[in-house]
Structure 1
Amino acid sequence: MSDMIDAHKGMKDHKVRLRARYGVECPECKKFRPRANATILLPQQRCKVDRYVDPRPELTDAEWGDA
């Protein structure tokens, strides 16, 4: 069970590093709700609140692995 917990923590840490490096704030969230925290989107990710899709090209395997 401990291995599974460690694996999930590792995936979460990787996702945090990806968002810190490649993430941008959703422009629709910033425009319509300026006082709220905007959703941080990775390339080609959809905002769950506004349904906005980030138009940047998907991350390459090298970019995905570097974070």
Structure 2
Amino acid sequence: MISGLVTATLLLAFVAMAVWAWSPRSRVRFAEAARLPLEDDVPPVGEAHDGGSAARAGDRP
């Protein structure tokens, strides 16, 4: 009896997650996330990227 309830609960959870993952709103978000590794990185404002010659936080002049 308990194993049947657990199986039914897990099946309903699986179906709910599949519906969520294939919904049009989620599909757009997942498509944007899939493109992230292919986009160029933009350095944060004010941060120098000169090949590692910038002073580190612990370095003193």
TM-based fold match above 0.5: no
TM-score, normalised by the number of residues in structure 1: 0.34
**Greater RCO structure (CA 8 Å; 6+ sep):** 1
Task: Indicate the structure with greater strand content.
Answer: 1
Task: Indicate the structure with greater helix content.
Answer: 2
Q: Which has the larger radius of gyration?
A: 2
